[in-house]
Structure 1
């Protein structure tokens, strides 16, 4: 002050806007989808959710490259690259594929549901996709699966395995565990 210069740092907020619509494969809008925008380092820039019409909008997004991650109940999550330019508004619509579910009941030879049986789901490469333990009703579920072939393995008695091909529809698959005699 006086006759000395004063350093003053001013941060200007970007006026860019990122908008879009989240739809399923049949074109229906997906409400309440969670949207996360991350920068090239993977840090969250902003997040929100779609409105009742499946629309989202983020204001103040700086120009640059981002990843837009979208998730919603009963759908497989999606991540798409997006380039926000300095023209004021960038639109990025996202299409979500339905998540397929494999579910069933682990039963003993007499048909009684088995409590505490461990069920493991493997992909075609033998990687574990998920593991769960049945409750008193013997039920298990694996959700949000993509298409392809899987192997179910149930243990708790001598193990049993079953091959499942996921083709876009839910699959009900009971597994039977029996003691060797």
Structure 2
């Protein structure tokens, strides 16, 4: 039997080859072949959990979300396993120790989600996740003659005035903010005297929100 700190000590009758078997409830047993000589042998054993966590990631319409990235974190916030969903939106974690976890899921064009789950001691725990769509606002910053403006700073504020994101336009003057929830936003472009535009998002992408900058006449 191991001690409270997991330490163990076994006396071998003599030099030779032995089979060490370590087992405990709710974890997969481990078997190791050891060659014992005239000196003490240090050998650490790691026992993985025998439980399994599985489920499906779907969107709000019930369609599977393939390629979603999943991270399983324990109560201390440490990542214990990662995975991605298959073509059917399914995922599975094997060898999970019983306990409380948080399953974080992210996928393109969707809002990330973090779902608490409790993995049982035996068998399989199921945790299905629904991802909400992430709305996008994008457009082009232009000067008065219609040419795109490079290196313009574009800031997105939510209805409370909090900064949601900031970006710099490229050679095409384009900007974009993705994975947004519904609500009212304010887009501010600077580089010349700043301009602002209010946008209300209702679940659909906002395209062509062009901003026009120019020096004051």
How high is the TM-score relative to the length of structure 1? 0.93
Q: CA deviation at 1:110?
A: 1.9
Q: CA deviation at 1:115?
A: 1.1
- Structure 2 stretches lacking a partner, 5+ long: 1-10, 14-40
The equivalent position to 1:42 in structure 2, one of 62, 77, 80, is 77
Structure having the higher Rg: 2
CA RMSD in angstroms, aligned pairs only:
1.8
Q: Which residue of 2 aligns with 1:176?
A: 212
Alpha-carbon distance between aligned partners in 1 of 2:167 and 2:12, rounded to the nearest angstrom:
72
Q: Which residue of 1 aligns with 2:150?
A: 115
Q: CA deviation at 1:65?
A: 0.6
CA distance change for structure 1 residues 137 and 11 in 2, over 3 Å: closer, same or farther? closer
CA distance change for structure 1 residues 136 and 60 in 2, over 3 Å: closer, same or farther? same
Q: CA deviation at 1:9?
A: 6.4
Farther-moved stretch of structure 1 (34-43 vs 107-116): 107-116
CA distance change for structure 1 residues 2 and 148 in 2, over 3 Å: closer, same or farther? closer
Q: Which has the higher contact order (CA 8 A, sep 6+)?
A: 1
Alignment of 1:84-95 (within 5 A): 84-95=119-130
Residue 184 of structure 2 is aligned to residue 129 of structure 1: no
CA distance change for structure 1 residues 140 and 27 in 2, over 3 Å: closer, same or farther? same
Alpha-carbon distance between aligned partners in 1 of 2:12 and 2:147, rounded to the nearest angstrom:
89
Alpha-carbon distance between aligned partners in 1 of 2:12 and 2:122, rounded to the nearest angstrom:
41
Q: Which runs of 4+ in 1 moved over 4 A?
A: 6-11
Alpha-carbon distance between aligned partners in 2 of 1:102 and 1:88, rounded to the nearest angstrom:
44
Alpha-carbon contact 2:111-2:133 (below 8 Å) kept: yes
CA distance change for structure 1 residues 2 and 92 in 2, over 3 Å: closer, same or farther? closer
Q: Which residue of 1 aligns with 2:21?
A: none
Q: CA deviation at 1:126?
A: 1.5
Alignment of 1:62-101 (within 5 A): 62-101=97-136
CA distance change for structure 1 residues 8 and 178 in 2, over 3 Å: closer, same or farther? closer
- Structure 1 stretches lacking a partner, 5+ long: none
Q: CA deviation at 1:2?
A: 6.2
How high is the TM-score relative to the length of structure 2? 0.78
Alpha-carbon contact 2:50-2:122 (below 8 Å) kept: no
The equivalent position to 2:60 in structure 1, one of 15, 19, 25, is 25
CA distance change for structure 1 residues 10 and 169 in 2, over 3 Å: closer, same or farther? same
Q: CA deviation at 1:30?
A: 0.6
Which secondary structure does the structure 2 equivalent of 1:28 belong to? coil
Q: CA deviation at 1:23?
A: 0.2
